[in-house]
């Protein structure tokens, strides 16, 4: 099919074998690419394995739109069985590796086995080599990127891990290009467990699109439309950091481990402070609305900020300086640790200290302690070891009711939105297919603007609509959703882009069917890999149900458990899942997943 590469590259690090396999058109039609390819491969090939064993596999996949000359297309999905959650884990990353993988002629790379010593993989079109990485091992993600660029030239796409991944820390992520990150549920640890430091990808081939001239014309029009949007200028000034002030005003800023939704020092950390300190901008390839804003941290190094990392490494741990939060973020990027899980872990330790559940004294806002903890978490040592496997495991370790305020769902830490007064967003976290990620259905902006306090079925329908678009289409196409989300870039462009790329005319209904198939298969994967999986895995922690916010305009607010339960039941009904949240046989069969229905009984 036009617009795709020649299939899948399989690299076995145990025996060094490299094979090239076809991805048939039926798979492209059924799963589109990116996340769709990843879950199909993992469902077929990764069964009941330890995520950090050599039996696990890691998939780097792109979609038909990835790396093309159209808005914000420089994205790649990285997926595996997660060492943090034990279920399906993935994340997208903005990287030139996406562009060069397309030019090298592949749609996915599957890495399996385990190298006997540190290695990296160099892909140059048809040639694939597994190379020694002894000189890279131990280097942080910035140093390793520089060394690899020096060796292989800047005309290469690199995805790599920092020491956190090497140490198999389950909150380790995958990094690229000095600060791009992806794969929150421990994808960095999976690479580390394989002794795999990096993939370096170089590609020189033309992409076989159906109508290149049309695609160029549509791509240019798309870029122009984005630039002409009313909100474009403000976006270019603050990027996702514009959400900081908005969250504080709406009392959903994560503060002191999600106890509160407002932070008294918010004005020291918001997008206007960023504007004053602004030292540059970075972002993903093919993007004309780049959102990685740089400031200089306390050591005069560049720190790349976005809302999620400043929310979690600022108010969530009581840090009241943007420069300090930026420094923690820079450290996390160097170690290759997920900033959301990191901020949640440090917040968990601060609260445990406040409650006297651990002997160490760590106060809210203690910057020195936070810096020390980043290193300890990255090494999996000392007090940091307690949260390096995530706050779920930490709460199981220290007990004493701490699971009520271990801010995670399915083992993945909740990202930077306090939901005491946002039941739809709480359900969005609860039903995200990788654990508590905001990416699949960021319904909070719609919810606050339209219907904040209700628990009705229409809200659940809206949530599924967002999941179909964000988690189904954008993750599989595979392109960034932010042009649509943040500046209102029209959704109508995407079927046109797909048609110019593949030659096939598709409707949104077609894409939603693909999205539903992907969600059903991911849900089945969770069930197969975790026999006890079910409804209780879809609830946020007790804090949001039981401990009302004590200040701000949402003072006294908490989620009504009975009404949340009703929304969850509607969600299952609308998805065609049973009351325990498992896809029904007829639902799986409608998605063409008959074999899956048999496998999960």
Which residues are near ligand SF4 by CB under 6 A? 72, 94, 283-284, 287, 289-292, 480, 482
- How far is residue 339's CA from residue 184's CA, in Å, rounded to a whole number? 9
Report how far apart, in Å, the C-alpha atoms of 354 and of each of 360, 363, 375 are. 10, 7, 22
Determine contact, residues 192/165, Cβ cutoff 8 Å: yes
Q: Which is nearer to ligand SF4, 442 or 533 (by Cβ)?
A: 442
CB of 142 to ligand SF4, least distance (A): 18
Q: Which is nearer to ligand SF4, 290 or 456 (by Cβ)?
A: 290
Task: Report how far apart the first and last C-alpha atoms of the chain are (Å, whole number).
Answer: 34
Determine contact, residues 55/194, Cβ cutoff 8 Å: no
33: left (phi over 0), alpha (psi -120 to 50) or beta: left
Q: Which is nearer to ligand SF4, 187 or 482 (by Cβ)?
A: 482
- How far is residue 4's CA from residue 62's CA, in Å, rounded to a whole number? 9
Three-state DSSP state, 179: coil
Q: How many CA atoms lie within 13 A of 164 on its CB side?
A: 37
Q: Which is nearer to ligand SF4, 292 or 345 (by Cβ)?
A: 292
CB of 72 to ligand SF4, least distance (A): 4
CB of 75 to ligand SF4, least distance (A): 7
CB of 307 to ligand SF4, least distance (A): 11
CB of 235 to ligand SF4, least distance (A): 8
Residue number, nearest CB to ligand SF4 = 283
| Torsions phi, psi for 466 (to 5 deg) | -65, -40
CB of 292 to ligand SF4, least distance (A): 6
Q: Which is nearer to ligand SF4, 186 or 283 (by Cβ)?
A: 283
Q: Which is nearer to ligand SF4, 274 or 387 (by Cβ)?
A: 274
- How far is residue 350's CA from residue 358's CA, in Å, rounded to a whole number? 9
Q: Give me the residue label for tokens 């998805």.
A: 575
- How far is residue 415's CA from residue 440's CA, in Å, rounded to a whole number? 12
Three-state DSSP state, 501: helix
CB of 486 to ligand SF4, least distance (A): 7
CB of 8 to ligand SF4, least distance (A): 25
Q: Which is nearer to ligand SF4, 304 or 376 (by Cβ)?
A: 304
β-sheet bridge partners, residue 175:
160, 181
Give the dihedral sign, CA 470/476/477/483.
positive
Q: Which is nearer to ligand SF4, 290 or 454 (by Cβ)?
A: 290
Q: Which is nearer to ligand SF4, 439 or 462 (by Cβ)?
A: 439
CB of 93 to ligand SF4, least distance (A): 9
Structure tokens at 523: 């849900």
Task: List, in order, residues 6 or more apart from 490 with CB less than 8 Å away.
Answer: 225, 484
């Amino acid at each position: 099919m036009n617009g795709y590469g020649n299939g899948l590259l399989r690299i076995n690090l145990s025996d060094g074998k490299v094979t090239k396999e076809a991805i048939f058109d039926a798979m492209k039609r059924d799963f589109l690419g990116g996340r769709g390819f990843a879950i199909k491969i993992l469902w077929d090939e990764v069964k009941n394995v330890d995520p950090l064993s050599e039996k696990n596999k890691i998939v780097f996949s792109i979609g038909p739109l990835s790396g093309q000359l159209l808005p914000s297309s420089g994205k790649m999905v990285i997926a595996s069985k997660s060492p943090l959650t034990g279920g399906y884990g993935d994340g997208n990353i903005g990287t030139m590796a996406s562009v060069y993988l397309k030019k090298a002629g592949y749609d996915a790379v599957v890495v399996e086995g385990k190298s006997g010593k540190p290695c990296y993989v160099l892909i140059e079109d048809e040639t694939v080599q597994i190379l020694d990485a002894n000189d890279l091992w131990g280097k942080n993600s910035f140093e390793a990127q520089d060394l690899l660029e020096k060796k292989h030239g800047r005309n290469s796409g690199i995805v790599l891990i920092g020491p956190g991944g090497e140490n198999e820390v389950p909150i380790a992520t995958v990094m690229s290009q000095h600060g791009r990150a992806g794969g929150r549920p421990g994808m960095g640890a999976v690479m580390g467990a394989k002794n795999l430091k990096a993939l370096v990808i170089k590609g020189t081939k033309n992409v076989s699109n159906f109508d290149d001239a049309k695609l160029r014309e549509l791509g240019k029009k798309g870029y122009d439309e984005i630039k002409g949007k009313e909100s474009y200028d403000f976006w270019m000034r603050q990027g996702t950091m514009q959400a900081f002030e908005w969250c504080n005003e709406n009392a959903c800023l994560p503060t002191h481990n999600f106890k509160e939704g407002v932070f008294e020092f918010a004005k020291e950390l918001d997008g206007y402070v960023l504007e004053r300190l602004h030292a540059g901008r970075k972002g993903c390839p093919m993007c004309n609305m780049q959102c990685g804003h740089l400031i200089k941290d306390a050591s005069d190094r560049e720190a790349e900020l976005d809302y999620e990392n400043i929310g979690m490494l600022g108010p969530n741990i009581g840090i009241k300086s943007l420069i300090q939060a930026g420094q923690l973020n820079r450290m996390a990027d160097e170690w290759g640790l997920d900033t959301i899980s990191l901020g949640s872990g440090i917040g968990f330790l601060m609260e445990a200290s406040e409650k006297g559940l651990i002997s160490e004294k760590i106060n809210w806002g203690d910057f020195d302690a936070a810096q020390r903890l980043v290193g300890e978490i990255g090494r999996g040592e000392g007090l940091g070891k307690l949260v390096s496997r995530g706050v779920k495991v930490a709460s199981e370790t220290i007990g004493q009711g701490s699971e009520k305020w271990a801010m995670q769902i399915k083992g993945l830490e909740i990202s930077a939105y306090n939901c005491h007064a946002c039941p739809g967003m709480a359900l969005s976290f609860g039903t995200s297919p990788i654990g508590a990620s905001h990416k699949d259905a960021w319904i909070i902006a719609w919810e606050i603007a339209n219907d904040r306090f209700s628990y009705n079925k229409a809200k659940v329908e809206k949530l599924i609509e967002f999941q179909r678009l964000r988690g189904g289409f954008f993750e599989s196409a595979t392109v960034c959703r932010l042009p649509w989300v943040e500046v209102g870039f029209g959704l109508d462009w995407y079927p046109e882009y797909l048609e110019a790329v593949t030659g096939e005319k598709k409707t949104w209904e077609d894409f939603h069917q693909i999205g539903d198939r992907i969600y059903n298969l991911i849900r089945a994967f969770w069930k197969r890999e975790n026999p006890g999986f079910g409804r209780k895995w879809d609830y946020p922690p007790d804090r949001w149900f039981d401990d009302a916010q004590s200040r701000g305009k949402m003072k006294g607010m908490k989620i009504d458990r009975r009404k949340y339960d009703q929304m969850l039941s509607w969600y299952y009904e609308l998805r065609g899942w049973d009351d325990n949240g498992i896809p029904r046989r007829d639902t799986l069969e409608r998605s063409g997943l008959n074999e899956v229905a048999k496998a999960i009984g």
